[in-house]
Amino acid sequence: MKIQEDKLYKLVEEISIFNEIDIRDIPCIDLYMDQVTTFFDDKLQHLKRDEKDSILTKTMINNYTKDKVIIPPKSKKYSKNHMILLILIYYLKQILSINDIKSLLAPLTKEIELDDTNDSISLEKIYTSFIEIKKEELENLSKNFDDRFSSIKEKISDKNNETSPKIELIMLVLALITQSYSQKRLAEKIIDTYFKQSK
């Protein structure tokens, strides 16, 4: 029995769909906490692995503020800068620890605290560039996946016996995890080298 490759490639296609929050969709007016969580639930619900998963809760936001990962809200309202930081944190926390995220974002939050105007630092430019890079990565995902999967099949093929589909899938997951792990380690090394405060 062979892997249903069309089903596997359908999963790759699902992941490759570009459906991100455009900078124009982020409200320019300040929002209260309930409005912030509703916005994220609405815009990022397609990223939930399980219906019960939370995108962003009040507790999470309060913890990010308490831990100084983001700047405190003004009069209990969150600005566009807050919203951009929260989106970036959402993606970063899938891979990095909160301490690493805090170190990485510290230069941005410090500058915003000093001068909370649009001229202080262009978080919008950082966010827009991030979204463009993500779109490029998703566009390349299908080809990169195809190359990786072909390589795995070639490595584990047995001319005398048919390779178990489960073995191919296990090897595929291991290869994907290896790639993710090496990229995570490199990201951590960059944070440790350039963003961590010297002790």
Q: 157-192: per-residue pLDDT in tens?
A: 876 677 788 888 999 999 999 999 999 999 999 999
64-117 residue pLDDT tens: 999 999 999 999 999 999 999 999 999 999 999 999 999 999 998 888 776 655
**Cα gap 149→24, rounded to integer Å:** 37
At 21-46, the pLDDT tens digits run 999 999 999 999 999 999 999 999 98
CA distance to 8, 56, 65, per residue, from 90 (Å): 27, 8, 14
Give the predicted TM-score (pTM) of the model.
0.88
User: Which residue has tokens 């950082």?
Assistant: 126
Query: Which of 97 and 20 is assigned the larger pLDDT?
Result: 97
Res 159: pLDDT: 61
Question: CB under 8 Å to 58, separation ≥6 — which residues?
Answer: 33, 37
Helix, strand, coil percentages for the chain (3-state, nearest 5): 65, 5, 30
What's the pLDDT at 199? 44
CB of 77 closer than 8 Å to CB of 32: yes
Kindly list the structural domains of the chain, giving each domain's residue range(s) and its CATH number in brackets, ordered by start: 5-13+128-194 (no CATH), 22-121 (1.10.1660)
pLDDT digits (tens, 9 = 90+) for 131-157: 999 999 998 998 899 999 999 988 888
Close Cβ partners of 98 (under 8 Å, ≥ 6 residues apart): 64, 67, 69
